[in-house]
Amino acid sequence: MTDKKITQGEWSNRESGANSSVFGGARKPGNSGRLVAVSNRTPLDADARAGGLAVALWDAIARSQGLWIGWSGEINSSENRVRTENSDGIDFAVMDLTQDQHKGYYLDYANSVLWPLFHNRLDLVRFNNRAFKTYREVNDAFADLIKIHAKKDDFVWVHDYHFMLLAKYLRGASWDGRLGFFLHIPFPAPEVFRACPQHRELAEALCHFDILGFQSKKDVKNFIRYVEEEFKGKRVMDEHVRVGGRTLIVRHCPIGLNAQDMAYTATLPPAKKTGARIRQALGKRRLILGVDRLDYSKGLPQRFEAVGQMFRKFPHARENVSFTQIAPPSRKSVKEYSDLRHQLDGLCGRINGDFAELDWTPIRYHTRSYEREELAGIYREAHVALITPLADGMNLVAKEFVAAQDSEDPGVLILSQFAGAAEQMKEALIVNPHDTEAVANTIVQALDMSLEERKTRWKALWDGINQQDINWWRKRFMEGDVVDMQKEKMRA
């Protein structure tokens, strides 16, 4: 593959380029096309199949007879073997990665540079120019796969930080079809992003998409400020940014969940059975719950410290509550994750050592994963959910917890100000996860909250997540595209 590094000169030359319509001049009156999703993992993976993204996109892809493109999940020693198959009415085109690509693109660049950088953890970033070359190579290979399997009137919707360069490579190969990108994780402040040696190349590549969707208003602001400062971009309308001779839509588009389905699942027998088991184990005590993937962005050590402080400062709480944290390890091979695991084991041991009674364990910490039905039952049984990430694109657990509650006796959500969800879920008790004393006080406030206040807060939260659910999110992302298509149809 050719080295596609972009120099500042090349970028500014394009400012006077001819390709200047909102959709790069690609839109033809009345074009319909299919929906083509591109994501690192696809629902061909059993693990991803039940996830929100699969649910959100499945019907829309099936209706448009579209397809899903991504990594097969297989590591092949020498070649990018491509497999196509139809599963339940959806076509898939998935590609193996070679061992070197898996290491460079996925482990060393996506997971060890982009993930910590975008979650504000510069201290954990391992910048790696060699891995970036492999990241380029894999993006280029997926661009080729898209060119083979997608058609020019399709809408290609790319997901997440694994594929930030795709649009640039497609445009470079004269692809003028519609391209959208949704970032599931936060977009960092420009000052943090600039620490990355490849920041200009990554951001410039993003500007080749037609629509960029971000989880929070803060992410939108960060991105726009970056292109204004770095590329002399200009906001020309509410959502339109003119940069490098093109106009792109930059949209605030918070992801939701299938709220009705989660609410229903929480009332089914498997959820009830799980709830009954927890009740039996807790006896008269109430449950404070944390549910996360084991990740340093989720603020687990600070959360454990806050719970410890709560037991220290409010001795009466020791008789009334137990804290359960569910956090299955997600990236076992990465050192930072095993360090975190050790840190949590230590904290848990210390707090239990300090406060446990013969018949009571203050902190229970489970590293096993639970089925969706079981999780629904666990959420419904919890009196307080403690969701305190240090940085999080959205955090769907917060929304799932609310959806699973009994409207007559709902639990209380304590939510970090640094979760994207905090912009929407204002009726939660919002906390700064670094302020462990304030979090400890807020737990007690939640435990003492009257039924009336719990119901009022819950109702407002439920209305929000039910209205702005997963289908709302998908439609919102596609909105400009649809609106624009309609305008073009009317003009035709």
Summarize as ranges the residues that interact with ligand ADQ (CB under 6 A): 52, 184-185, 255, 291-293, 326-328, 369-370, 375, 392-397, 400
CB 191 within 8 A of CB 199: no
Which amino acid appears at position 9 of this protein? G
Minimum gap (Å) between residue 351 Cβ and ligand ADQ: 20
Smallest gap from residue 271 Cβ to ligand ADQ (A): 13
Q: How far apart are CA 45 and CA 16, in angstroms?
A: 44
Residue 295 known to be catalytic:
no
Determine whether 345 is an active site residue. Answer: no
156 to 62, 147, 161, 178, 206: CA distances (angstroms): 14, 11, 16, 6, 14
* Closer residue to ligand ADQ, CB minimum distance, 317 or 340: 340
Q: Which is nearer to ligand ADQ, 83 or 217 (CB)?
A: 217
Q: Which of 292, 295, 392, 481 is catalytic?
A: 392
Taking a C-beta distance cutoff of 8 angstroms, is the pair 490, 447 a contact?
no
Q: Give the C-alpha distances (Å, rounded to integers) separating 487 from 237, 300, 342.
A: 17, 49, 57
Closest distance of CB 379 from ligand ADQ, Å: 9
Residue 234 tokens read as 């200009």
Closest CA to 159 of 186, 183, 177: 183
Which residues 6+ apart lie within 8 Å of 68 measured at CB? 36, 37, 38, 39, 42, 43, 44, 57, 61, 90, 91, 92, 93
Q: Which is nearer to ligand ADQ, 54 or 150 (CB)?
A: 54
Min dist. Cβ of residue 83 to ligand ADQ (A): 26
CA separation for the pair 369, 327 (Å, rounded): 7
Q: Which of 102, 159, 184, 208 is catalytic?
A: 184
Burial 46-59 (b: 16+ CB within 10 A, else e): eebeeebbbbbbbe
Nearer to ligand ADQ, 204 or 292 (CB): 292
**Shortest Cβ distance from residue 44 to ligand ADQ (Å)?**
18
Q: What are phi and psi of 381, to 5 degrees?
A: -80, -20
d(CA 281, CA 433) in angstroms, rounded, equals 28
Residue 237 contacts by C-beta under 8 Å, 6 or more apart in sequence?
A: none
197 CB neighbour count, 10 Å cutoff: 12
Nearer to ligand ADQ, 97 or 397 (CB): 397
Q: Would you say 88 and 61 are in contact if contact means Cβ atoms under 8 Å apart?
A: no
Give the nearer residue to ligand ADQ in terms of CB position, either 302 or 395.
395
**Shortest Å distance, C-beta 131 to ligand ADQ:** 21
Q: Looking at the DSSP assignment, which residues form a beta bridge with residue 82?
A: 95
Minimum separation from the CB atom of position 462 to ligand ADQ (A): 17
**Nearest distance from residue 97's CB to ligand ADQ, in Å?**
21
Tokens (6 digits) for 396: 């769907």
| Phi, psi of 77, rounded to the nearest 5 degrees | -65, -30
Query: Closer to ligand ADQ at the Cβ: 142 or 401?
Result: 401
- Secondary structure element (H or E) that encloses residue 4, with its range: none
Of 228 and 261, CB closest to ligand ADQ = 261
Residue pair 467/424 in contact (Cβ under 8 Å)? The answer is no
How many CB atoms are closer than 10 A to CB 5? 12
Q: Which is nearer to ligand ADQ, 247 or 395 (CB)?
A: 395
Q: Are 196 and 113 in contact (CB under 8 A)?
A: yes
The whole-angstrom separation of Cα 64 and Cα 157 is 13
The letter for the amino acid at 291 is V
The catalytic residue positions are 184, 392
